[in-house]
Chains A and B, each alone.
Chain A
Amino acid sequence: MRATDLPLPSSNTSKWAPKFESLQQAARWFACLRSEDVTDKDRAGWRAWHEQHAEHREAWKYVETVSQRFENLQPESEQHAAAAALKAAQRVTRRQALNMIAILAGGGMLGWTTIQHAPLPAMASGADYRTGTGEIREITLADGTRVWLNTASALNADYRPSLRHVRLVAGEVLIETAQDAGRPFVVDTSQGRLRALGTRFTVRQFDGATYLAVYEGAVEVRTAGNDATQVVQAGEQVTFSSDVISPPMPAERARKAWARNVLLADNIPLKDLIEELARYRRGHLGVTPAIADLRVMGTYPLDDPDRVLAMLESALPVQVRRTLPWWVTVEARPTGR
């Protein structure tokens, strides 16, 4: 590993501020001089800038270093392979994002061995509204907008004269916006901004992706990374990373039952139900592969996960093993009992 890969020991940004300004100017001059339409006046302007200050000359050195990096790749014989390799590298990260979206959109977020949920991120502890594991709470914002916070969630509200702005820091919310024609309602997540167009919708923050389901009205998604936009209509759901939005799929209406403290299972695999339930209790909750795909139907109380486990035991050929109080596995019930 090279030193340049490592984070800086100091993150004091103000120290870098003047340098950043100069680098920014140097980068603009580079873009200007590189153009086929560059004029003598531009060149003179650059020379004046370059001579003006030692820091400008230092900033320009970085531009030259960057340019030199590409020299090895410029010969005709190298160009094609180099560009192809760089393109492929871009796809790796893109594929990671798409993989995650495919997995999320397909339902099962995690393998059976790893159904466990991290506590709220550190940021969430200072949030305006938050819920603990297993808690579901309804709040009303200043304009009458109703928000249900699902388990382990955190939300900040920042209402301004011209904008109703909330930020989902963690977890999941169901939002029913109040009418206010003059003030847009927006929700920010780590991956982008949602603009509600008079509406009822659910937003969930995953690690690296946001899930959105719209039940009434419509919501415009704008990704943080590249400003990709899409309007999601009532009855649709999408998942997006900071630069990719999945194609819209039919929204799972059953999902929003959590706002009524109910987990609605409409013929879903047991592993999905267990995964969902795991969000509401602390510790590990797993299901063995042999029974992971058993189909489950019914209405389950989210405020009492242990009762749900008992209900499953009586309805399905499964048993609940409590290895430790916080380590629970649902497994096949031995036959002959």
Chain B
Amino acid sequence: MSANEAILHNQMHQLYSSHHGWLYALLRRRLGNAFDAADLAHDTFLRLLLKPLDFDSFGGARAYLSTVAKSLCIDLWRRREIERVWLDALAAQPEALAPSAEHRAVILETLFEVDAMLRRLPEKAANAFVMAQIHGMTYKEIAAELAVSERMVKKYMAQAMLNCAMHEAGIKADFSVDMPYVLCK
């Protein structure tokens, strides 16, 4: 272990011992379940390991950890909700065949991915993208559905694709970026 690694290790150890307690308690309250809480507390610290931050105060570390924990909670809830609603919807279809375990895993994984890509988009842009990419609707149909202009739909599509592509490329998206539409009429 190099000197830097040793320092990092020591810092992590200190962060863990001073923050794991309240973080676990917070997650347990939010999730109402000790196993999920332990998992997410673990994942929260894992993120810290990958992106070591130098906190100048207890409050700073606490604020960072609770923000990460909150987003992990929402992640978990979103995944559970996707799974629940997807299975319900499938079961409600008249010709319902129980999906094979493999098919189920593939589709759910795809849905988790797609949800992660769409998550930070404004609702209308996300909806437009889903209508186009899943339902194969035309811009005209989408525009009618969302009560916006076709030009706006095109803008939503570019915005959504940019966010998805950035997610795919592992670039942290800057959602304040405005997308003037210039390349094609």
Contacts and interface: CB of A to CB of B under 8 A. Distances in A.
Contacts of A24: 162, 177, 179
B88 to A, nearest CB: 8
A7 B50 contact: yes
Interface stretch (A77-85, A178-186, A245-253, A329-337): A77-85
Contact of B59 (A66, A90, A118): A118
Given A7-B47, A84-B89, A85-B89, A20 B166 contact: yes
Interface string A130-141: 000000000000
A19 B144 CA distance: 34
Nearest to B134: A73
* Residue among A7, A25, A27, A83 with the highest chain B CB neighbour number at 10 A: A27
Contacts of A30: 157-158, 161
A89 to B, nearest CB: 4
Contacts of B119: 89, 93
A79 to B, nearest CB: 6
B183 interface: yes
A88 B133 contact: no
B5 interface: no
Contact of A27 (B83, B117, B162): B162
B7 interface: no
A67 B133 contact: yes
Interface residue tally of chain B, by bracket? 35 or more
Contact of A90 (B56, B90, B123, B179): B123
Contacts of B59: 118-122
Interface residues of A, number: 65
Nearest to A118: B59
B4 interface: no
B81 A82 contact: no
A32 interface: yes
Contacts of B155: 31
A36 interface: yes
Contacts of A82: 86, 107, 111, 134
A36 B139 contact: yes
A81 B140 CA distance: 23
B122 interface: yes
Contacts of A73: 107, 110-111, 114, 133-134
A74 B136 contact: yes
A25 B50 contact: no
Contacts of B62: 118
B172 A7 contact: yes
Given A24-B162, A28-B158, 20 more contacts: A6-B46, A13-B174, A19-B169, A23-B169, A28-B183, A35-B154, A36-B139, A62-B169, A69-B164, A72-B110, A74-B136, A80-B93, A81-B93, A82-B107, A88-B85, A89-B79, A90-B118, A90-B123, A92-B78, A121-B63
Q: Which 8 A-B pairs have the closest CB atoms?
A: A27-B162, A81-B89, A31-B158, A32-B184, A31-B157, A85-B86, A88-B85, A27-B161
Interface of A: 1, 4-9, 11, 13, 16, 19-20, 23-32, 34-37, 42, 45, 59, 62-63, 65-67, 69-70, 72-74, 77-93, 96, 118-122, 225-226, 243
